[in-house]
């Protein structure tokens, strides 16, 4: 069964601290993505990757880094967390044609 697993599912971080969100997929997909969702807005693409050891900037990359150490794993890193980064973060993986699967989301609160 196709799966995208995110951890942690929720986190409270202090301003200026470092936060790492992890994503693991078992779909054998080449592409992985990180999105953020804010109330009343659609999902916005932060970073994506189409192969291990390589990442690409999405539409809103500022303040975020990404890491793809293997095909299965994709991390989102906030080096200096800020209040404006409070949001729900979704990881997704995609393969051929239109197939795409999303994780259940990580609720990040920066205080």
Partner 1 sequence: KTQVEQSPQSLVVRQGENCVLQCNYSVTPDNHLRWFKQDTGKGLVSLTVLVHENDKTSNGRYSATLDKDAKHSTLHITATLLDDTATYICVVGDRGSALGRLHFGAGTQLIVIP
21-80 residues in contact with partner 1 (CB under 8 A) are 29-31, 33, 35, 40-45, 50
Contact 91, 33 (CB under 8 A): yes
Residue number with CB closer to partner 1 (64 or 90): 90
Contact 48, 60 (CB under 8 A): no
Residue number with CB closer to partner 1 (48 or 79): 48
What does the block give as tokens for 90?
Answer: 């979704």
Binding to partner 1 by CB under 8 A, coded x per residue (else -) over 88-107, reads --x---xxxxx-x-xxxx-x
- Contacts of residues 53-61 at CB distance under 8 Å and 24 or more positions apart, as own/partner, are 58/33, 58/34, 60/36
| Chain positions contacting partner 1, by CB under 8 A | 4, 29-31, 33, 35, 40-45, 50, 90, 94-98, 100, 102-105, 107
């Amino acid at each position: 069964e196709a799966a995208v697993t995110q951890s942690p599912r929720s986190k409270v971080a202090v301003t200026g601290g470092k936060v790492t969100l992890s994503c693991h997929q078992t779909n054998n997909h080449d592409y992985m993505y990180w999105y953020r969702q804010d109330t009343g807005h659609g999902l916005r693409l932060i970073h994506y990757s189409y192969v291990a050891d390589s990442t690409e900037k999405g539409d809103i990359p500022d303040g975020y880094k990404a890491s793809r150490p293997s095909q299965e794993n994709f991390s989102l890193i906030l080096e200096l967390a800020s209040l404006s980064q409070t949001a729900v973060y979704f990881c997704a993986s995609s393969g051929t044609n239109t197939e795409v699967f999303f994780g259940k989301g990580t609720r990040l609160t920066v205080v």
